């Protein structure tokens, strides 16, 4: 996700300095005109806006506040925008620690996948103070078609958790419907075409359904990453005493995928977990 996002900023004329833990991933961005930094700390020197896009809350904390963290060298009052998917509590905790160092923070996770990142069509879900969001808005508008300021710090992460609930449970319905259709002797391509215009249609049916029918389980978004996101959902849901039973079922199916070495496949490989469970009965 970070590579196409950084490319859009470079091509729009921004002075972009990049650091990534896997240096080879930055090659395309550097060729487009970005400058390389040897650490997050080096990348933040003289910056007005520092954007992080990594895997989880501990990773964000390390690149911003660790031994070589960006917060150590950034000018006073720098705005940090984390666009990773982390927990609301992690976002609030990082914000507090950055504030102590004289910096500002907004959480701004995204939806739309790698294609949305390439096209500048992401939906950006933001939590933070209004003035801070307004400062980041011109950059966000290069990256996404919709920017939603949901409330104070942590609100963006909460809104992203809502999105992951919808995505996982929606996908469960798609995979279960297609497994039922196949076992009933229907043609999956015809099923997708017929139901793609009705009340049961969804992004998952229209975009991932054809991949299931073709038995193409290459990742757009990997099982391992969605499992991490659903862990965040369950932690946040426990904090507000909400049972998320459908999410837990999705987690069980993805755990089946992971136990069969499918964690790095696309999330629609859930379909294969359903098939295995049915075959075992």
When computed from its CA atoms, the radius of gyration of the chain, rounded to whole angstroms, is: 20
E strand or H helix that includes residue 111: strand 110-111
Residues with a catalytic annotation lie at 160
The C-alpha atoms of residue 253 and residue 122 are separated, in whole angstroms, by 28
In whole angstroms, what is the distance from residue 181 CA to residue 3 CA? 38
Burial of 14 (0-12, 13-18, 19+ CB in 10 A): middle
Give the span between the Cα atoms of 254 and 96, in whole angstroms: 34
- Please give the full DSSP string across 209-251, using - where no structure is assigned: HHHHHTT----SSBHHHHHHHHHHHHHHHHHTT---HHHHHHH
């Amino acid at each position: 996700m970070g590579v196409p996002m950084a490319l859009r900023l470079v091509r729009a004329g921004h002075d972009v300095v990049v650091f990534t833990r896997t240096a080879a991933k930055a090659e395309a961005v550097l060729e487009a005109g970005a400058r390389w930094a040897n650490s997050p700390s080096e990348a933040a020197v003289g910056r007005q806006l520092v954007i992080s896009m990594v895997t989880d809350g501990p990773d964000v904390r390390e690149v911003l506040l660790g031994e070589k963290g960006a917060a150590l060298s950034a000018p006073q009052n720098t705005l940090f925008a984390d666009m990773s998917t982390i927990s609301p509590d992690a976002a609030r905790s990082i914000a507090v620690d950055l504030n102590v160092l004289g910096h500002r923070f907004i959480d701004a996770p995204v939806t739309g996948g790698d294609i949305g990142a390439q096209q500048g069509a992401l939906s950006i879900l933001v939590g933070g103070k209004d003035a801070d969001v307004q400062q980041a808005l011109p950059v966000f508008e290069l990256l996404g078609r919709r920017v939603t300021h949901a409330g104070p710090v942590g609100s963006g992460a909460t809104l992203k958790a809502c999105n992951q609930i919808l995505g996982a449970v929606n996908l469960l319905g798609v995979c279960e419907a297609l497994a039922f259709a196949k076992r009933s002797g229907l043609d999956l391509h015809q099923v997708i075409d017929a139901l793609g215009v009705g009340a049961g249609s969804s992004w998952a049916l229209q975009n991932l359904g054809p991949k299931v029918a073709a038995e193409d389980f290459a990742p757009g978004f990997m099982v391992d990453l969605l499992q991490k996101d659903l862990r965040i959902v369950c932690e946040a849901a426990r904090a507000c005493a909400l049972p998320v039973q459908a999410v837990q079922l999705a987690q069980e199916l993805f755990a089946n995928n992971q136990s069969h070495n499918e964690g790095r496949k696309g999330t629609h490989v859930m379909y294969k977990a359903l098939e295995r469970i049915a075959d075992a009965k």
